[in-house]
Amino acid sequence: MNLKIAVLPGDGIGPEVVLQAKKALYAISVMFDHEFIFEDALIGAVAIDKTGTALPEQTLNLCLNTDVVLLGTVGDGDPKYDNNPDAQKRPSQAVLKLRKELGLFANKRPIKTYATLMHSSPLKREIIEGTDFIIFRELTGGIYFSDKSLNDEKNKATDVCEYSEEEITRITHLAFQAAQKRRNKVTMVDKANVLETSRLWRNVVQKVAYDYPDVELNFLFVDTAAMQLVLNPRQFDVILTENLFGDILSDEASAITGSIGLLASASFGTKKALFEPIHKSFPQAKGKNIANPIASIVSAAMLLEHFGLTEEAKLVHEAIEKAIEYNVVTLDLNPGTSFGTNEVGEFVSNFILNKDDLMYFNNDNVHIGQSTIV
């Protein structure tokens, strides 16, 4: 298969973790005879610093004209921008604009525990063992994108939350179809005891559910869902929810697995798709070779799955599991580790390449066919 992949390394640890994902993809292309062409472009705080805008036109055009987007991380947490309420330009604007422009209305976040990492979770083993669910988060609607205002005195603000039946229907179908391939259970999370938009969600979801009689549907209020996630995460198969609730619950859910550095997400619509880690840009770790690259590598595996390259994706997952099993992991998973971002990435790539020496990898290979456009 030929794939043109837009790579947006972004801020903080983004460039170093996405490099490991590229290495894994390059190794897959060698082993399965695919051609993957990577093209890098700027996004986030680095793009603001260099071009004055978080999502330069050139970056957006690249994303519109390639088959798929691989994103590193975008700099919320950078004190100059997202943590400063008065900043006019924010790295996160780039993420939101990209989602909207590429029509990425569905965001899929799988949460699964690794058998060998139970001890890394703050939750008890008996609670988390066997946890395996997916959050389907609506990504281009709701309070994130509806009208916002701040009065002239700057002492009163509004964020409207709006949803249409069409927006709810399209992601609901995807969630039910995913459940059919899993354990046939959808949990819709909302706040229907308070919010009108939540009541619309319930009605629409119930209507769509008639098309999937084999899938069990139940409802939870978001506050209860937040509690149930840590009390009994095994009960969930597919969680379906709106934009803001999905954002909050997926960060909470990531704690179950022991490290947010393990989880990735896929965002897609009818045409385009984007893959990225769930974690943030972690500027304090930038350039120190300590960031966990696994989430980014998992995002590469999800990219392969998206294009039907199931065997290839399986091999990437297997390589990750081996790295964890051999304890070739970063600080977040083993405080006494002697391995860094690059070593974990090398191990994974070399496992894919079936090398005897799992610690050898020639970084130069990754740059084949790559051009930097901004």
**Is 81 assigned a catalytic role?**
no
CA distance 292 to 331: 8
CB nearer ligand IPM, residue 237 or residue 247: 247
Give me the least distance between CB of 207 and Mg ion, in Å please. Answer: 29
Give the active site residue among 144, 190, 272, 280: 144
CA distance 318 to 315: 5
What DSSP designation does 289 have?
T
Give me the least distance between CB of 96 and ligand IPM, in Å please. Answer: 6
Helical residues (DSSP H) of 102-235, grouped into ranges: 125-128, 165-180, 196-209, 222-231
| Residue, CB closest to ligand IPM | 92
Only one of the segments 23-31, 92-100, 196-204, 223-231 lies at the binding site for ligand IPM (rule: CB under 6 A); that segment is 92-100
Kindly identify the residues of this chain, within the stretch 198-257, that bind ligand IPM according to CB under 6 A: 247
Only one of the segments 57-65, 90-98, 155-163, 336-344 lies at the binding site for ligand IPM (rule: CB under 6 A); that segment is 90-98
**Is 326 assigned a catalytic role?**
no
Query: How many chain residues interact with ligand IPM (CB under 6 A)?
Result: 6
> Which one of Mg ion, ligand IPM, none interacts with residue 95, CB within 5 to 8 A by kind?
ligand IPM
CA distance 44 to 80: 12
Angle at 332 between CA 330 and CA 335, to 5 degrees: 80
Q: Using the rule CB under 6 A, is 146 a contact of ligand IPM?
A: no
Only one of the segments 91-99, 217-225, 231-239, 315-323 lies at the binding site for ligand IPM (rule: CB under 6 A); that segment is 91-99
Q: Which residue matches tokens 């798929």? A: 68
**Is 26 assigned a catalytic role?**
no
**List 25, 46, 95, 285, residue binding ligand IPM (CB under 6 A):** 95
> Which one of ligand IPM, Mg ion, none interacts with residue 248, CB within 5 to 8 A by kind?
none
CA distance 305 to 273: 12
Give the active site residue among 11, 190, 247, 332: 247
DSSP codes of every residue in 148-163: EEE-TTSS-EEE----
Closest Cα to residue 370, out of 6, 1, 56?
6
Kindly identify the residues of this chain, within the stretch 17-76, that bind ligand IPM according to CB under 6 A: 74, 76
Closest Cα to residue 303, out of 111, 58, 66?
66
> Which one of ligand IPM, Mg ion, none interacts with residue 92, CB within 5 to 8 A by kind?
ligand IPM
Only one of the segments 35-43, 63-71, 88-96, 171-179 lies at the binding site for ligand IPM (rule: CB under 6 A); that segment is 88-96
CB nearer ligand IPM, residue 143 or residue 333: 143
CA distance 101 to 63: 10
CA distance 361 to 77: 32
* Residues forming the site for Mg ion (CB under 5 A): 247
**Is 144 assigned a catalytic role?**
yes
Q: Using the rule CB under 6 A, is 167 a contact of ligand IPM?
A: no
Q: Using the rule CB under 6 A, is 92 a contact of ligand IPM?
A: yes
CB nearer Mg ion, residue 265 or residue 349: 265
**Is 185 assigned a catalytic role?**
no
CB nearer ligand IPM, residue 11 or residue 40: 11
Give the active site residue among 49, 67, 132, 251: 251
174 alpha-carbon distance from chain centroid: 17
Strand ranges, E, within 252-304: 264-268, 273-277
Radius of gyration for the alpha carbons in the chain, expressed in angstroms and rounded: 20
Closest Cα to residue 168, out of 218, 240, 251?
240
What's the token pair of residue 158? 């509004």
What's the token pair of residue 223? 């506050």
By annotation, the residues acting in catalysis are 144, 191, 223, 247, 251
Binding positions for ligand IPM, rule: CB under 6 A: 74, 76, 92, 95-96, 247
